Amino acid sequence: MKEKGQKPFSFQVQTWERYHNNFSGMVIAPTGFGKTFSVFLGVVIDYLNHPENYKRGLKLIWISPLRSLAKDLAKAMSTAIEEIGLDWEVAVRNGDTPTNLRRKQERLMPDVLLTTPETLHLLFSQKKNSRWFKNVNCIAVDEWHELLGSKRGVITELAVARIRSLSPKLSTWGITATIGNLEEAKQVLIPNKEVKTTMIKAKEKKKIEIISVLPDEVEELSWAGHLGKKMSSKIIPIINAHNTTLIFTNTRNQSELWYQILIEEAPDLLGQIAIHHGSIDKKQRSFIEEAISEGILKAVVCTSSLDLGVDFKPVDCVIQIGSAKGIARFLQRAGRSGHSPFEISKMYAVPTHSLQLIEVAAVKEAVKQHEIEARYPYVLTYDILVQFLVTLAVGEGFKAQETFDLLINTHAFQWLTPEEFDWCIHFITQGGNTLKAYEEFHKVVLDEDGFYRVKSRRIAMMHRMNIGVIVGEVMLYVKYFSGGYIGMVEEFFISKLKKGEAFVIGGKVVVMKQIKDMTVLVKRSKSKKAITPSWLGGRLPLTSYLTHFLRLKLSDAITAKKRERELNFLHPLLKRQQEKSHIPKHDEFLTELIKTKDGFHLFMYPFEGRLVHEIMATLIAYRISKITPLTFTIAQNDYGFELLSDQEIPVNEENLTQIVSKENLMEDITASINASEMASRKFRDIAVIAGLVIQSQPGNRKSNKSLQSSSGLIFRVLNDHEPSNLLLKQAYNEVFDYELEKVRLHNAFQRISESTIILKRAKDFTPLSFPLKVDSLRGTISNEELGKRIERIQKQALKA
Amino acid sequence: MKKRNIVTKLVTCFDEVLEVTNQRVVYWRKENALILSDLHIGKSAHFQRSGIPIPSSILAVDLSRLEELIHYFKAEQLIVVGDLFHACYNKDLDTFKVWLSSFKNLSIKLVKGNHDRLQNRIYEAFQIEVFSDFLQIDSLKFVHDFSVIQSDAFTISGHTHPGVLIKGKGKQRMKLPCYQVTKYQLILPAFSLFTGLNTKDAPRGCKNFGFTESAIFEL
């Protein structure tokens, strides 16, 4: 390395030393500074010094969340090893690895294996798998921050725990970008008290420049809306001024639309601009990625699909369209440009409506103060536990006590009770606690030697197909009649499409011809009118960190300093808000009552993100309807929510404090929301992970038709027949923890209770309320009974 | 178990009058018969065999619902338009056999569905009269899944598990099981509660009779 004129960074040297002294730990460094080589070379150097500590076979397991990273990483590692003159073999194993290579690896494992958490679990489901892991020296988890806050984090924890149990001298290292809860992140990955741990932070900082793209006049920017098409004329010059620009949008739908908009605005870009998102065919995606690396492309419109992954050297500019929803995401995306250590990452923020400019100001402030979001780990995910137990039973079989001990030594299952563990054992051996009911159920069998095993080949096979926690929508491949895959769309979207209708995918207009074997056959179309698919998901709320800064920025927006370009630009709008109503200071909570011809509106602005607002709106509606029974229409966005009624809303200065009080919070919430409907939605993933629903793969001809059922149906059945089922309990827990964001909700009401409550009455919409008025996401809260509701809906439908 | 609230509604099919109920069966007074479809007996056991734990009490509930309806209407025959059984012979069928033996004078006619793939001797053992394509009684023609509708007979079928989606203002949505009725045909909802709802493939111009625990209404 040194010969090449590369001098190691001090955090790398530090990692090598600590690894050498048998530490486990975490390395925190910005991208582009050689994080990989901190841990990887640590292992190599230690081997060179103490070859006697290393045995034949697997020495280092390298887990990364993305398959696409593995190939390039393996290449870099192999080169380094060659230069050093070692005879180590580096290999990749994941879902894309061909069978013959896998068989070869199984005969003799490479010295370094780059893999994913799911693939490790798949290895656990093979016969005699423990021999591969007996002499592993180190397990490194790359991009740990990406895994931590998801269920994939839990399967990573389990994989590490099992490998540690087979190879007790193992060191565990996490490599992560900065997050708000680094200490916890380390604890989760290395929960073992007997292991020496360390935290190594790089001193090197990535310089980031955030530039907001402003229209010429504040009036040009709409108060609401989400596309910001008018800004396209401002984007083209930015693209032209740089080598390669990544243009991030928040949803696949928006990326398709923006691709069309840019081509329309600058037709000469055709051929130099590409589109990249998760539903575009894998081959085409890697083709685009290569083209970026080679610097052929001028711009790529993308989604979070390019948040992570291989470094693109030519990218020297990033444009974010709309809100990035969080500080970490904003920085992650900014970091995709100017990738080498001392270059500056340049990020242009394009607002899609005026209030988003305050968000940009808030992100800038957060960056200045080095504040960044925490990622909270999942705990007690029974679905994963059930899956893991079956995985072990398919592999070598497991003993109850040993496995329980392994589990309670992980972070995710440290609070697992013996009763819950027994329930899970019952669940996989007899189908649950209602014993007698499952005479034909023999998924896992207890053998006389005390091992739990899976006997049926069919069940083993079905389980292997189902390992992992990434549960997708049912997707169908999109393929030309003449051959050639374009991408994937959700069944949900296709089912609404009629034969011969045109739609846009991957920037191409095609017409649907036929659906066959989970594949949509299409033909190219010249049709001007085409639908852009709206893929589900992708409506993230603003993070609480960002909203905190948002409230601060808004608080002193009207008296902003000259340097705050965004706030100065917004001044006319902010002044109007102040005149018509009020701009809430950081210790104030604003409520607006507005009467229009549509009816009576109540607006509240907690600035807590969409999800929390949805729950708050339902709760406030419930509390108001306890004063006078009313039916409300609800709308919410990331800033606040609206209740609309055809009758006067009985809210005044006297009762408002009571209506937003934190007393009886959870009781009122439970009474106001339809928890079972929300839990049923959460149950979708749980049912698949726990093996209750068999997923069908896109393009797959063989679907287990007679075994197909929807998770909603199973949820209903279990609710009726086995209400004590732990997986149901988990679904409700997930609703409260993730959907309702219980902690955040509590904090929000705590904050409101400490704030000055301000009630303003306005004659027409204020700049803050207008976006809510036009927001299309509306729900209704109603206490009417089912029959009456149907009757009423029916009448409405007839009128329309 | 709480008493079911059985609500009926008269539907004229050519020259026959049928009573559709909110209990997923149709009563034909003239023949003193209950017409139903898609019981899927054996489905929960089939799932269990494949390692998917589905409570067996589903079948018990389905059968007790049917029992109550037979007594309520004092029906003497069941006309099942397919998918009586879900898969191969499993212990759910033994449960069904025991249940069946408690009726003295109940005759069962089955028009075979795509799931009814048991050997004929099993149907014989259950004393079920099997029709492999269709069964015609007077002007009513019973099939599992209709393909072509003829104008000389009124077709009664099942198979699709019809449901109806009700949409209201403010994104309100609700799915209910239903009967789909046109001038020439009637599609039955699935009898078993362990079935999903299909809101997509409705025959052109059909009326939907949706129902809840307490009511049945045209949508």
Q: Going by C-beta distance under 8 Å and a sequence separation of 6 or more, which residues neighbour residue B194?
A: A709, A713, A717, B40, B43, B44, B54, B58, B62
Instruction: Examine the domain organization and report whether A111 and A100 are in the same domain.
Output: yes
My answer on whether A221 and A360 are in the same domain is yes
Considering the domain architecture, whether residues A637 and A759 belong to the same structural domain is answered as: yes
| Pairs of residues, one from chain A and one from chain B, whose beta carbons lie less than 8 Å apart | 117
Domain that includes residue A275, residue range: 207-368
Q: Are A752 and A662 in contact, with CB atoms under 8 Å apart?
A: yes
Residue A569 falls within a domain, yes or no?
no
Q: Which pLDDT tens digit goes with each residue over A613-632?
A: 888 988 998 899 888 887 78
Please check whether residue A576 lies inside any domain of the structure: no
**Per-residue confidence at A698, pLDDT binned at 50, 70, 90?**
low
Give residue B108's pLDDT band: very low, low, confident or very high (50, 70, 90).
very high
Which of B38, B44, B54, B199 would best serve as a mutation to test chain A binding (most A beta carbons within 10 A)? Answer: B54
- List the domain boundaries for chain B: 8-218
Contact B57 A794 (CB under 8 A): no
Name residues whose C-beta falls within 8 Å of residue A323's C-beta, 6 or more positions apart in sequence: A250, A352, A356, A359, A542, A638
Domain boundary among A306, A341, A368: A368
Q: Which of A391, A497, A717 has the most B C-beta neighbours within 10 Å, making it the best mutation to test the interface with B?
A: A717
User: Closest approach of chain A CAs to the CA of B167, in angstroms?
Assistant: 7
Secondary structure letter of residue A568 according to DSSP: H
* pLDDT interval class at A702 (50, 70, 90): very low
- What is the rounded CA–CA span in Å between residue A371 and residue A368? 8
Residues A520-524 have a mean pLDDT of 86
Are A372 and A328 contacting, i.e. CB atoms less than 8 angstroms apart? yes
Highest mean pLDDT among A488-492, A796-800, B77-81, B210-214: B77-81
Flag whether pLDDT at A112 surpasses 90.
Answer: yes
For A707, the closest of B47, B57, B195 (CB atoms) is B47
Among A368, A396, A425, the domain-final residue is A368
pLDDT tens digit string along A60-80?
Answer: 999 998 877 788 889 999 999
Q: Which residue of A has its CA nearest to B214?
A: A787
Pairing between β-strand B185-187 and β-strand B154-157 as defined by DSSP bridges:
parallel
Question: What is the pLDDT at residue A1?
Answer: 46
Burial of A653 (0-12, 13-18, 19+ CB in 10 A): exposed
- Chain B residues near residue A456 by CB distance under 8 angstroms: 51
**Are A311 and A395 in a shared domain?**
no
Cβ–Cβ below 8 Å for B53 and A443:
yes
* Claim to verify: residue A228 and residue A252 sit in the same structural domain: yes
Do B53 and A438 count as a contact with CB atoms less than 8 A apart?
yes
| A40's tokens | 């990887």
Read off the pLDDT band of A777 (50, 70, 90).
Answer: very low
Q: What pTM does this model have? A: 0.83
What's the pLDDT score for residue A521?
86
pLDDT at A798 over 70: no
Report for A419-428, A620-629, A759-768, B53-62: range of highest mean pLDDT: A419-428
For residue A401, tell me if it sits in a domain. Answer: yes
Predicted pLDDT of residue A791: 59
| CB-CB neighbors (< 8 A) of B200 in chain A | 495
Mutate which of A387, A423, A429, A440 to test chain B, going by most B C-beta atoms within 10 A?
Answer: A440
**Which pLDDT belongs to residue A797?**
45
Which CATH class for the B8-218 domain? Answer: alpha beta
**pLDDT at residue A774 above 70?**
no
Asked if residue A222 and residue A194 are part of one domain, the reply reads no
Q: Quick one: A122 and A267 in the same domain?
A: no
Q: How far is A520 from chain B (nearest CA, A)?
A: 18
**Rounded to a whole number, what is the distance in Å from the CA of A646 to chain B's nearest CA?**
13
Give A786's contacts in chain B (Cβ within 8 Å): 212
Are residues A456 and B51, on separate chains, in Cβ contact within 8 Å?
yes
Q: What is the pLDDT of residue A41?
A: 94
The number of folded domains in chain A is 5
Cβ <8 Å between A779 and B49? no
Q: From the CA of A790, how many Å to the nearest CA of chain B?
A: 8
Q: Which of A361-370, A491-500, B207-216 has the lowest mean pLDDT?
A: A491-500
Residue A168: what pLDDT?
93
- What band does A758 get if pLDDT is binned at 50, 70 and 90? very high
Q: Tell me: do A303 and A408 sit in the same domain.
A: no
Chain B contacts of A432, Cβ < 8 Å? 53, 55
Residue A377 counted as domain residue: no
> Tell me, what's the pLDDT at B170?
44
Q: Is residue A449 located within the same domain as residue A335?
A: no
Compute the mean pLDDT over every residue in chain A, rounded to the nearest whole number: 85
- Asked whether residue A659 falls in the same domain as residue A726, the answer is no
Cα B112 → chain centroid: 13
Q: What is the mean pLDDT of residues A634-643?
A: 87
Last residue of a domain, one of A176, A201, A226: A201
pLDDT, tens digit, for every residue of A267-323?
898 889 999 988 888 888 888 888 988 989 999 999 888 887 777 888 999 999 988
Confidence of residue A232 (pLDDT cuts 50, 70, 90): confident
Instruction: Say if residue A392 is in the same domain as residue A464.
Output: yes
Would residue A109 count as lying in a domain? yes
Q: Reply yes or no on whether the pLDDT at A799 is more than 50.
A: no
Look at residue A555 and tell me if it is in a domain: no
Q: Residues 143..182 of B with a Cβ closer than 8 Å to A: which?
A: 166-172, 174
Would you say A624 and A607 are in contact if contact means Cβ atoms under 8 Å apart? no
CA dihedral for A546, A547, A548, A553, sign (positive or negative): positive
Burial of A57 (0-12, 13-18, 19+ CB in 10 A): middle
For residue A661, being part of any structural domain is answered with yes
- Please give the pLDDT value at position A706: 60
CB-based contact A459 B50, cutoff 8 Å? yes
Nearest CA in chain B to A792: B168
CB contact under 8 Å between B86 and A796, yes or no, is no
- Of the partner residues A434, A462, A793, the one whose CB lies closest to the CB of residue B172: A793
Beta-carbon separation of A709 and B196 below 8 A: yes
Shortest Cα distance, chain A CAs vs residue B149, angstroms: 23
Distance from CA of A769 to the nearest CA of B (A): 19
Which chain A residue lies closest to B83 (C-alpha atoms)? A706
Cβ contact B170–A691 (<8 Å) = no
β-pairing, A508-516 vs A502-505, is: antiparallel
Inform me whether the pLDDT recorded for B118 exceeds 50: yes
**Domain containing residue A29: CATH number:** 3.40.50.300
Question: Under an 8 A CB cutoff, do B55 and A722 touch?
Answer: yes
In a domain, A659, yes or no: yes
Q: What is the model's pLDDT at position B1? A: 47
* Interface touch A709/B47, C-beta < 8 Å: yes
Q: Do residues A50 and A6 both lie within one domain?
A: yes
- Whether the pLDDT of residue A500 is over 50: the answer is yes
